Amino acid sequence: MLELLLRRPRELHLEKMQPPAPLNPDEVRIRTILGGICGGDLRGFEGKFAITYPHRMGHEMLGTVIECGEEVQLRPGQRIVVQPNTYCETCEFCKAGKRNLCVNKKTYGGTLPGGFAEEFVIPAKYVFPVPDEVPDERAVLVEPMSVVVHALKKVTIEPGKKVAVIGCGSEGTLASALAAFHGAEVAAIDINQSETKKQLISTIRGNVQFYHPEDEVLQRERFDVVIEAAGVPASAEQAFQIVKPGGDVVLIGIFEECTLPVRHIVRNEITIHGSIIYDLPDDYEDAFRYLKDESFVLPTVKLVPLEQFEQAFAAGLSGNYCKVLLDFRAEGR
């Protein structure tokens, strides 16, 4: 059994795993099918935040149950996805049903070892069965898709609405696709204007225009909803410039600080929403509803066999794909 370990920034190694330990009663052992590389994994790979090395990434995981602890209700052979954020069930926010705000939250693949391994073990409460009709390549997107589903529930997205999405990484591309699916007129905005990126955005169905942040169209166009998914101060600052009076800015990118034009926000009654991960199980269920629906066309994903992990991370860093997936299936290698 192999696992992918980050030993130092930009130093990934495929290594033999320790022999499996017996399961705790509440745990399941999973054989990995696919794992999505997230923006967070890419920042970790580049050494952009503090990590204890060696670190095993991977929180967007699809796999098959191969062994269950004695208290677990799942059956071997079942396909599952991981919900990688832990919750304590005892804090004020967990008790109020807001597990996404749990004060004791940890993340598999972040503060806890992740799933980039041929097998991994996780408490059964953090896995979700996958509906049979959802193919592997779509099912593995449920976690990033749920982030977008949760964010878009904070605003009204419908035909006639103008929506701008700043930053077209995985979340931004999925947000553009979902807003367009709901009939909005979408401006997808990104500094990467490569042919491959243009090609990616063109795979989104619906009314979508693709702009550079400095495009002169954005000097005059104003939007009912602006979604910041780049996670950089300049993008958040642009969000307040291009939102209509009475409009909404939804922040899903994560960074420390930016300058807020308070007079402009107050005078124009602009509403700011922070949005973090998702409510469970509702947002996963809703995300699966879209992933089940073939009329919801996903932007391009790229599958890379596990052994070619270096190419996979390079493809992720290029920003040219909606999602790069590591393929752990033996037949894929």
Q: Which residues bind Zn ion (CB under 5 A)?
A: 38, 87-88, 91, 94, 102
**Of 94 and 225, CB closest to Zn ion:** 94
CB 195 within 8 A of CB 215: no
User: Least distance (Å) from Zn ion to the CB of residue 258?
Assistant: 22
The sign of the CA dihedral 67, 72, 74, 79 is negative
User: Least distance (Å) from Zn ion to the CB of residue 321?
Assistant: 14
Tokens linked to 80: 């599952």
User: Least distance (Å) from Zn ion to the CB of residue 305?
Assistant: 21
CB 241 within 8 A of CB 258: no
User: Least distance (Å) from Zn ion to the CB of residue 230?
Assistant: 15
User: Least distance (Å) from Zn ion to the CB of residue 40?
Assistant: 6
Reduced to 3 states, what is the DSSP secondary structure of residue 309?
A: helix
The sign of the CA dihedral 319, 204, 162, 143 is negative
**Of 38 and 291, CB closest to Zn ion:** 38
The sign of the CA dihedral 208, 250, 60, 113 is positive
Angle of helix 282-292 versus helix 142-152 axis, rounded to 10: 110
**Of 4 and 68, CB closest to Zn ion:** 4
Helix (H) or strand (E) holding 315: helix 309-318
**Of 35 and 247, CB closest to Zn ion:** 35
**Of 38 and 324, CB closest to Zn ion:** 38
**Of 87 and 290, CB closest to Zn ion:** 87
- State the DSSP code for 126: G
Helix (H) or strand (E) holding 36: strand 27-37
Tell me which residue has its CB nearest to Zn ion.
38
**Of 72 and 82, CB closest to Zn ion:** 82
User: Least distance (Å) from Zn ion to the CB of residue 301?
Assistant: 14
User: Least distance (Å) from Zn ion to the CB of residue 171?
Assistant: 8
Residue 253 phi, psi (nearest 5): -75, 150
Helix (H) or strand (E) holding 245: strand 243-251
How many Å apart are CA 302 and CA 205, to the nearest integer?
18
